[in-house]
Chain A
Amino acid sequence: KQEVTQIPAALSVPEGENLVLNCSFTDSAIYNLQWFRQDPGKGLTSLLLIQSSQREQTSGRLNASLDKSSGRSTLYIAASQPGDSATYLCAVRGNFNKFYFGSGTKLNVKP
């Protein structure tokens, strides 16, 4: 059974710092990996999608990488801002169109 782990569970950084969030998964047979952002009590907002054949995707200050063979993905956030404060979740799409989510990293960017 696919298991997705996110480390750290919480992270607090001063504004302006670059930071990395980690996501690992146990079964490398995935179709894609998606990073989401969730604000308190709200739904998930899709940030980046990486297909299994890709190594990375970029959107603005965000860069996500994927190493399928080692079962790892990272989300890099450059020049963090207080508005980046949220919980970040990763999800992998496995066989039979099933999605498996990590428990998230709660990010706090201090002004």
Chain B
Amino acid sequence: KAGVTQTPRYLIKTRGQQVTLSCSPISGHRSVSWYQQTPGQGLQFLFEYFSETQRNKGNFPGRFSGRQFSNSRSEMNVSTLELGDSALYLCASSGGDRAHEQFFGPGTRLTVL
């Protein structure tokens, strides 16, 4: 099975812009979670989607939003970008016969100038 894929791998944006990141889970996985990773804060949970519904949400402002499509692919959107949004954004999928494990994609490196 193909692993979790994320596009794009790298992004450079300027303050005030918005950005959309995409995640395709492992085939058959219905849960997709998003994380932000920074050197100072480590890995922080953003939200989780399961069958097109947001099931969990972390403590991030409303500028961070997401959605999941019927094929389980997920997108994450950040509006009004700030310098502090520069980070590695990781998505993870779970499901199938290993529903208790998370499998991560390679991440999208977002740089906000």
Contact = CB atoms under 8 A, between A and B. Distances in A.
Contacts of A44: 90, 92, 102, 104
Q: Is the interface of A mostly helix, strand, loop or mixed?
A: strand
A103 B42 contact: yes
Contacts of A36: 104
A111 interface: no
Interface in B1-59: 4, 6, 31, 33, 35, 42-43, 45, 48, 55-56
Q: Which of A46, A51, A102, A104 has the most CB of B within 10 A?
A: A46
Contact of B42 (A46, A93, A96, A104): A104
Most B C-beta atoms less than 10 A away, residue of A42, A44, A51, A91: A44
Given A41-B107, A46-B104, A97-B56, 17 more contacts: A34-B102, A41-B109, A42-B106, A43-B6, A43-B90, A43-B105, A43-B106, A43-B107, A44-B90, A44-B104, A46-B101, A46-B103, A89-B43, A93-B100, A97-B31, A98-B56, A99-B45
